[in-house]
Amino acid sequence: MSKVLKGSAPTDSEVILGILNNSEVVLERLYVAYFPMVMQLIINNNGSADDAKDIYQEAIIVLYNKIKSGDFELSSKLKTFIYSVCRRLWLKRLNQMSRFDGDIKDFQDYLPVEDEVEKQTDRDLQYTKMESALALLGEPCKTIIEDFYMHDRSMQDICERFGYTNADNAKTQKYKCLQRLKKLFFQHN
Amino acid sequence: MNDRQLHDEIERYLSGEMSREERAAFDALRKDNADIERQVNEHRQFIGMLKQFNERRELEQRLNAIHNEIDVHSLKEELTVHPSWIVQLWRNHHSKISVAASIAIFAMLATLFFTGYFKGHDSNYTQLRMQMESYKRSTEKLNNSTNALIHDIKASKRIIEPAKFGGTGFALTANGYIVTNYHVVKDADSVYVQNETGDSYHARIVYTEPGYDVALLRIDDSTFKAQNPLPYTLKRAQSDLGEDVYTIGYPRNDVVYGKGYLSSATGFHDDTTAYQVSIPVNPGNSGGPLLDNKGNIIGIISGKQSLMEGAAFAVKSEYLLKAIKNMPSDSVNKKIVLNSKNTLASLSRAQQIKKVQNYVYQIKVYSK
């Protein structure tokens, strides 16, 4: 039943090196190469194109984190790994929506990847918590925090952007913002 | 050192802005003070989370950008496994189909129920035994009151009550064996037979064959005297379609003649033990003899089809013979000797009837 999927996939080692080097081209080639496979899995198992996008991106993030953290051993083909993660994620999603009828139509071989998916679920939780904490923080705190801690801008830059009279005022402001963010983040526990 | 200052120090320490001396001093402070050590670790972890958050957000943005380049719609078309249209129809509409099917089944059952399909036997088939109670009661009451005295005095101390059902029967032998339908005498407490002249005798059911709807009675009344030899015989072979036939029976209290023809070699629902006869019959005719032109008995009138004009049914004489054969010999105390001489063949119809009617009885069935 499976169709032959077109497109020149990058080799597995190309992908690993590319991700370690933040290569935009490799990421794109990887994404384009395996998306049809995942789409096929999802839409033929009660899912929509948007579901396919969510699941696939989640799986790419799992792969990305795994490679970046350096503990990625190439024990199987990347294709199989991605398929397995997507399959696992989709089964989980189907169960949550109570739409799983006990039968999944498979198109590829797959591996057990429960650990990866569990880890990813934890990270997802942290991510959404941080996202909502930042949203609650409000401006200008959000931008100050993002500029300083995420985009590595200097205090001087921030001082100018927000029109603080001196860097010390800006620093005080940043300190207060960070304390509030921590509070928001942890009170959601 | 207040919280704010400590925070600044930690940040400087973590970002590597401290001089070597400051750094050494802070390291020493961390070692000495567990609380500071914990705060350093917490801060580092939190900043790490912020960085991870940013990294992931950027990655998602990049992935979304790539995704937007893909023609998802045509890909979807290409990748969907298209099941056959009937499967798709079922998947998309199975709830509606189920509901429709349930309604259809329910409607069918309801129709069958209201048309009486579930009532034991086929409603189209009407057994022709007569329900006597209603009008018999009034006439018999009259009889009772006027004749009770005479009856009492005249030997037999028989009290005649209205019979519950009525039918017809005919003599099988001259010594008191009478044939009728099983359905006429079933559930009977007692059976009386009454001949054309009005003499009534008690009879006993000696054998029944429900499969053929045949019952054999024997008159066991002391007042009964053996009759002359029967004028008719039982026909052993099948009769042909189109043959002229007639019956005489008791659909009312007087004997009634009916004439018709054999219209089919099988009975209701292709029942091979019966004929279909086009003949006017009514409740009470059940058990009556069906005779052909020559005066042979070819069957026993048993029922008619209520929704079909002129379709009556008669058990074939060969099955009557079979029933007689099946009868265990110990149930008869007088031997059944079937008549083998037909004296009707050369007579006209009216003369035939005159002779036959002496051997045709009204059957009265009493039950609680």
pLDDT (tens digit per residue) in A165-187? 777 787 888 888 888 888 888 88
Among B46, B62, B76, the residue with its CB nearest the CB of A43 is B76
Chain A: residue whose CA lies nearest to B47 = A149
- Across A107-116, average pLDDT: 78
> DSSP assignment, residue A149?
I
DSSP secondary structure string for all residues of B143-189 = HHHHHHHHHHHSS--PPP---SEEEEEEESSTTSEEEE-HHHHTT-S
- Cβ atoms A46, A103 nearer than 8 A: no
Q: Do B76 and A36 touch (CB under 8 A)?
A: no
Q: Do A39 and B49 touch (CB under 8 A)?
A: no
Question: What pLDDT sits at residue B169?
Answer: 92
Q: Kindly list the residues from chain B whose CB atom is less than 8 angstroms away from the CB atom of residue A171.
A: 8
Q: Kindly list the residues from chain B whose CB atom is less than 8 angstroms away from the CB atom of residue A57.
A: 60, 63-64, 67
Q: How confident is the model at residue A21 (pLDDT cuts 50, 70, 90)?
A: confident
Beta strands B296-305 and B233-234, pairing class: parallel
Given the cut 0.85, state whether the ipTM is greater than it. Answer: no
Count residue pairs from A and B with Cβ separation < 8 A: 81
Question: What pLDDT sits at residue A29?
Answer: 87
Q: Kindly list the residues from chain A whose CB atom is less than 8 angstroms away from the CB atom of residue B64.
A: 57
Question: What pLDDT sits at residue B50?
Answer: 86
- pTM, whole model, 2 decimals? 0.46
Q: Looking at the predicted structure, is the pLDDT value of residue A98 above 80? A: no
Among A127, A151, A178, the residue with its CB nearest the CB of B56 is A127
- Amino acid at site B241: L
A112-116, long-range: CB < 8 A, 24+ apart: A112/A84, A113/A81, A113/A84, A113/A85, A113/A88, A114/A88, A116/A62, A116/A66, A116/A85, A116/A88
Chain B: residue whose CA lies nearest to A176 = B4
Interface with chain A: mutation pick from B53, B61, B70, highest number of A CBs within 10 Å: B53
Question: What pLDDT sits at residue B106?
Answer: 95
> DSSP assignment, residue A148?
I
Q: Do A24 and B62 touch (CB under 8 A)?
A: yes
Question: What pLDDT sits at residue B180?
Answer: 92
The dihedral formed by the CA atoms of B317, B320, B325 and B326, expressed in degrees to the nearest 10: 140
Q: Kindly list the residues from chain A whose CB atom is less than 8 angstroms away from the CB atom of residue B71.
A: none
Interface with chain A: mutation pick from B59, B73, B82, highest number of A CBs within 10 Å: B59
pLDDT tens digit string along B210-251?
888 899 888 888 888 888 888 898 888 888 889 899 999 888
Which of the residues in chain B have pLDDT under 50? 155-160
Question: How far, in Å, CA of B271 to CA of B145, rounded?
Answer: 47
Helix (H) or strand (E) holding A112: none
Of the ranges A22-26, A31-35, B66-70, B126-130, which one carries the lowest mean pLDDT score? B126-130
Q: Do A130 and B50 touch (CB under 8 A)?
A: yes
Question: How far, in Å, CA of A176 to CA of A164, rounded?
Answer: 15
Question: How far, in Å, CA of B108 to CA of B356, rounded?
Answer: 49
Chain B: residue whose CA lies nearest to A60 = B63
Strand ranges inside B220-295, DSSP E: 233-234, 244-249, 256-264, 274-278, 289-292
The whole-angstrom distance between B5's CA and the closest CA on chain A is 10
- Cβ atoms A2, A110 nearer than 8 A: no
- Amino acid at site A132: S
Q: Do B53 and A40 touch (CB under 8 A)?
A: no
Question: Which two tokens mark B175?
Answer: 């010594």
Q: Do A61 and B70 touch (CB under 8 A)?
A: no
Q: Kindly list the residues from chain A whose CB atom is less than 8 angstroms away from the CB atom of residue B78.
A: 3, 36
Quick one: B325 exposed, middle or buried, by C-beta within 10 A (0-12, 13-18, 19+)?
Answer: exposed
Q: Do A36 and B79 touch (CB under 8 A)?
A: yes
Q: How much is the mean pLDDT over chain A?
A: 81
Question: How far, in Å, CA of B77 to CA of B58, rounded?
Answer: 30
What is the CATH number assigned to the segment(s) B129-368? 2.40.10.120
Question: What pLDDT sits at residue A100?
Answer: 66
Q: Kindly list the residues from chain A whose CB atom is less than 8 angstroms away from the CB atom of residue B39.
A: none
Q: Kindly list the residues from chain B whose CB atom is less than 8 angstroms away from the CB atom of residue A40.
A: 79
- Amino acid at site B323: A
Question: What pLDDT sits at residue A130?
Answer: 86
Q: Looking at the predicted structure, is the pLDDT value of residue A6 above 70? A: no
Would you call B246 helix, strand, or coil by DSSP? strand
Interface with chain B: mutation pick from A3, A66, A150, highest number of B CBs within 10 Å: A150
Question: What pLDDT sits at residue B136?
Answer: 56
| Rounded (10°) angle between helices B34-69 and A49-68 | 130
The whole-angstrom distance between B4's CA and the closest CA on chain A is 7
The whole-angstrom distance between B275's CA and the closest CA on chain A is 60
β-pair partners for B303 = B127, B313
Q: Do A150 and B64 touch (CB under 8 A)?
A: no
Q: Do A31 and B66 touch (CB under 8 A)?
A: yes
Helix (H) or strand (E) holding B360: strand B360-366
